[in-house]
Structure 1
Amino acid sequence: MKKVVFVLAAAGLMSLAACSKQTPAENSADATANALDNAGENLEDMADNTSNDAAAASLDNAADNLHAAADNVEDSKK
């Protein structure tokens, strides 16, 4: 379910991004931020699927770090 919502949100953002002209650097920043968010989502899914609480906590922490990195990339282009 999370993946479907994320894909739909990404598709919506991509369609909005297509309306404005961005520089190649802004496109690169967007692609990097999206890749980091995707990796974070994958780690969250892995955490949900593990039965080991310590591993789940570690995966959630790594996912949070990737999402924060994606936010930093987005903020750097402003």
Structure 2
Amino acid sequence: MKKLFTILLVAGMASFVACGPSAEEKAKEEARIQDSIAKVEAEMEAANQQAIQDSINAAAAAAVATATADSIANASEKTAKGKK
């Protein structure tokens, strides 16, 4: 009975190991994971570049608004001085 149990145990362990993924399947899975990582990194880089561009655009818009306000203020001062 001990020998039968040992043989069944060894056979069970061997069949359990044999059910795992093959080297080809492991390679495909690793390639899939690397592709996913590359895709996420590319998306993150694109989002980062977009955030930088948005900041540049916001700064430019603020500069234009400030310049416009300054021009209006200067024009108002000149008009006020001219009326006095």
TM-score (norm 2): 0.37
Which structure shows the bigger proportion of residues in helix conformation?
2
Larger Rg over CA atoms:
2
TM-score (norm 1): 0.39
Higher relative contact order (CA 8 A, sep 6+): 1
